[in-house]
Amino acid sequence: MSWLKGLTGEPVEPYVEPASTPKVDDPAIPNRKVSTKQANKPFLSYKNYRNKQDRLHNEWLARKQARDEKVARGEDGGPEEPDPTAEVEIGALSVLKFVVYAVVVVLLSGKFITGSYLWEYEGRWAQLKTYWPSDQRLFSERLLAEFDGTKPGRPIYLAIDGDVYDVSKGKSYQPGGSYHILAGVDAARAFGTGCFKTHRTHDMRGLTEFELNGIVHWKEFYADHKDYFKVGRVSHPPIDPSSPIPEHCNPKKQDDSNPRKDTDERVKPASPKSGEKSKKKNAKGKEKDREEL
């Protein structure tokens, strides 16, 4: 290990290539030999490649010149031959082909591995209606009520925070179903509070941040559902700010959710532990409702 001598300060002996090492002409410097060791192979291979390309180009030039002379004499020179050594430029078409091939490979891989071209993804981006939406319309509250499932031949619509969705494929929204009470109306408040019988209204005044987040959750649920799709918007008349806020169906939650009752005169404010238990209970209830929907 001669390289250790340089670390100790001893003079390093110069490397002498064995005489038995095969050598070839140096393609860059005339009258010079270089060995065919592994370190020189990329350089030698590239030089051989360039020599081959030059030979092919010169042969093509000769054929092109012969063809041009025939054409000048009025003879048939045949089709013009492209230069076999010309560099191929990557254009937009080449990039598009690569993208198409990549998509095909991904789809076929999904079909082979999971049995689904989309790898079992069934969200909104896998639905044709996302890219080719049907004509959406503006509903009045009276018109929306006509699509509650009670009239044969009509689809079933529900609205949440102004967005109207077709939920005809959901058995729970059909007459007699557990969520038929939500059909034909914008019951945004009910999605946040869970009071499906008494909060069939779009009035969201006085809701807590937790309840508002629940409405956002359900809006995403309908927007991303594979069977439900948006058909329009519902126009609501303005809410009178002096009108009373709907009371909560659960008296215990009424004190916590209605800011008008959240005053210093409250007899027994809710403890932090009870608030956490209430949030956990609401989260479990909404998860159960999602499974049923």
More confident residue, 197 or 258: 197
What are the start-end ranges of the H helices in the chain?
A: 3-8, 41-72, 92-114, 128-131, 141-144, 188-193, 209-224, 251-257, 272-292
DSSP summary character for residue 85: T
Whether the predicted pLDDT of 263 surpasses 50: no
According to the model, what pLDDT value does residue 160 have? 97
For residues 151-178, average pLDDT: 94
Give dist(CA 95, CA 191) in Å, integer: 47
According to the model, what pLDDT value does residue 5 have? 58
Nearest CA to 281 out of 216, 173, 207, 193 is that of: 193
According to the model, what pLDDT value does residue 27 have? 73
According to the model, what pLDDT value does residue 1 have? 52
Is this prediction's pTM over 0.85? no
Signed CA dihedral, 104, 105, 108, 114: sign only: negative
What does the block give as tokens for 65? 């010149």
Whether the predicted pLDDT of 118 surpasses 90: no
More confident residue, 18 or 105: 105
What does the block give as tokens for 187? 């019951």
Residues 165-215: pLDDT tens digits? 999 999 999 999 999 999 999 999 999 999 999 999 999 999 999 999 999
Give dist(CA 188, CA 184) in Å, integer: 12
pLDDT band at 241 (very low <50, low <70, confident <90, very high): very high
More confident residue, 158 or 257: 158
For residues 248-277, average pLDDT: 52
Residues 123-136: pLDDT tens digits? 767 776 667 666 68
According to the model, what pLDDT value does residue 266 have? 32
Residues 217-235: pLDDT tens digits? 999 999 989 889 899 999 9
pLDDT band at 108 (very low <50, low <70, confident <90, very high): very high
Mean pLDDT score across all residues of the chain: 82
For residues 271-277, average pLDDT: 50
